[in-house]
Amino acid sequence: MTAPAYKRILLKLSGEALMGDDSYGINRVVVERIVAEIKEVTELGVEVAMVVGGGNIFRGVAPAAEGMDRANADYMGMLATVMNSMALQDAMTRAGLECRVQSALSLEQVAEPFIRGKALRYLEDGKVVIFAAGIGSPFFTTDTAAALRGVEMSADVVIKATKVDGVYTADPKKDPKATRYQKVSFDEAIGKDLKVMDATALTLCRDQKLPIIVFSIFKEGALKRVVMGQDEGTLVHCD
């Protein structure tokens, strides 16, 4: 059997991906399907670290956050990522996967504090590690958290799971002539503002020579194809 193209990955999962077709919240069926795909790649020997967003929960209370202090609103978003991480951990445990949640905020009753050395040992032992609460500071996105944790964990690649199957020349929903990039350089992605990740995350990955793959989490088997190095999604790479 062909070996995976990557030994250790950082999977960035949006909070919106967890709600499926619901208007907000966590869809149990969707979570179980995503966990099944993660389990499939761990059985190939791939070490999986994760960062999950909180848009599925925070979006539900966003109107109440209008006019709030930005830092307070960001902390609310971080707490939403902790809830999503706990839901994923529960689903993984029921699926027979060992999982640990490490939080950048101090929430010892529900998650371990982020400790780099411990996280690395968990990965080496075959456990999935979910990094919750972003980087623990406001004004930074979970994209930036994914880039930072990917570098800290010495990941081979950051894999961003989205609703579309890669990066396109234009919005494929609005422009029928839009085409998918198979590969694109960091400089081109930044220069053309291709919305791969925010500029801070892209710059960090570029400077640390950490490639990014953007793919659709809603395509069955897509995650496995990505880690096997097949033509799935879009690879963002250094020149």
> Binding site annotation covers 54?
yes
> Binding site annotation covers 55?
yes
Between the alpha carbon of residue 186 and those of residues 109, 118, 121, 209, the distances in Å are: 40, 31, 31, 10
Cβ 164 vs Cβ 175: under 8 Å: no
Strand partners, 8: 47
> Binding site annotation covers 59?
yes
Show the CA angle centred on residue 179, arms to residues 178 and 181, nearest 5°: 135
Cβ 146 vs Cβ 198: under 8 Å: no
> Binding site annotation covers 169?
no
> Binding site annotation covers 58?
no
> Binding site annotation covers 162?
yes
For tokens 């030994």, name the residue.
7
> Binding site annotation covers 18?
no
> Binding site annotation covers 135?
yes
Cβ 44 vs Cβ 194: under 8 Å: no
> Binding site annotation covers 8?
no
- CA distance linking residue 180 with residue 169, whole number of Å: 6
> Binding site annotation covers 140?
yes
> Binding site annotation covers 67?
no
> Binding site annotation covers 77?
no
Strand partners, 9: 48, 157
Q: Which two tokens stand for residue 120?
A: 């690395």
> Binding site annotation covers 141?
yes
> Binding site annotation covers 138?
yes
> Binding site annotation covers 218?
no
> Binding site annotation covers 142?
yes
First to last CA, the chain: 31
> Binding site annotation covers 120?
no
Extract the annotated binding site for UMP. Answer: 54, 74, 135-142
Extract the annotated binding site. Answer: 12-15, 54-55, 59, 74, 135-142, 162, 168, 171
Extract the annotated binding site for ATP. Answer: 12-15, 55, 59, 162, 168, 171
